[in-house]
Amino acid sequence: MKNLCVKLLLSALLGLGAVTQSLAQDIDFGRGDVLVKVPESYSASEAHPLIILLHGYTSSGRSQDSYFQVSDLADDYGFLFAAPDGVREPSGDENRFWNASDACCNFFGLEVDDSGYIRSIIDEMKQRYNVDENRVFLIGHSNGGFMSFRMAYEHSDAVAAIASLAGANHVEQREAPENPVHILQIHGTNDETIGYQGGDIQDNRYPSALQSVRRWANYNGCSQNGVGRELRDLEASLPGHESGVLKFEVGCKSGGSAELWTIASGTHVPVLSDTFAAQVVEWLLAHPKDN
């Protein structure tokens, strides 16, 4: 466990940087201040998308946003934004974490209802602002990616789509959730923290990137025959358009699909391209919940 914690901590620290504070505010949703951004174009007479960013193990909402730079796009795309923090571990380095799955990352076995907490943020943002019911999205990195998958499964009535970088779905067989949800998994083939081919943390297994996507393709009623599409440039330190795209969108239930972006030679904390955040945000906005 110690080696894993060190590896995840180093990965998170690589993503740290200056936090953009422009038009940001803090709102306490019950666990302390949460970074929230409202676009300059916000009008209570118009419904706006909501994007919630979930940090990786050891990180924080602000640090994750500094790395992903999602909130910088709120004005351009007109979405509401929130980046909450997980609770801290009770000892050691007191790292922040999300209680997302058996594998990741509640290493102290705490009774923490992160699923309920994040849902409460969604619900309170709807009370405070005019949120588009069909465009509530989550983006998560690593532990936050695991948590995004959990939110998609447990709150399929509210979540339209998720984008997970280096996270994974639950490993056990379950019945499909009540509602379809669009799923995007982004994963590097050289990820040594959360393996592209799957693996285990403290003997608790998690599925591969492709298995995670195929499971949701099945939940969403999609054909299991994925179709390759255009390459994308997601990683700045790798040459060209290094990332392959595999789509499962044939025969899907309305409001559901599944997609895998594979970063060839990508690591757990890739050097994100200048357009990474915009590509993810545009994908989310193009995948609303069915009316």
User: Could you read off the pLDDT of 251-264 as tens digits, one per residue?
Assistant: 999 999 999 999 99
Which residues pair with residue 163 across a beta bridge? Answer: 139, 184
Per-residue pLDDT reduced to its tens digit, 14-65: 443 333 334 689 999 999 999 999 999 999 999 999 999 999 999 999 999 9
> Mean pLDDT over residues 264-282, rounded?
98
Q: Which residue has the higher pLDDT, 259 or 6?
A: 259
Q: Please give the pLDDT value at position 101.
A: 97
> Which phi and psi angles does 51 have, rounded to 5°?
-120, 125
CA distance 279 to 232: 9
For the chain, which domains are there? 2-285 (3.40.50.1820)
Kind plus residue range of the DSSP H or E element containing 258: strand 257-263
Give me the torsion for CA of 116, 56, 5, 58, rounded to 10°.
-80
Lowest mean pLDDT of 67-71, 80-84, 182-186, 224-228, name the range. 224-228
Using alpha carbons, select from 56, 41, 22, 28 the residue that is nearest to residue 165.
56
Name every residue whose Cβ is closer than 8 Å to that of residue 38 and which is 6 or more positions away in sequence: 23, 25, 74, 80, 81, 129
> Mean pLDDT over residues 226-249, rounded?
96
Structure tokens at 257: 């699909």
3-state SS class at 31: coil
Per-residue pLDDT reduced to its tens digit, 111-123: 999 999 999 999 9
CA distance 62 to 69: 10
> Which phi and psi angles does 14 have, rounded to 5°?
-65, -25
Q: Please give the pLDDT value at position 92.
A: 85
Q: Please give the pLDDT value at position 4.
A: 53
The pLDDT-based confidence of 206 (bands split at 50, 70, 90) is very high
Using alpha carbons, select from 181, 183, 184, 209 the residue that is nearest to residue 194.
209
CA distance 215 to 47: 32
Per-residue pLDDT reduced to its tens digit, 49-61: 999 999 999 999 9
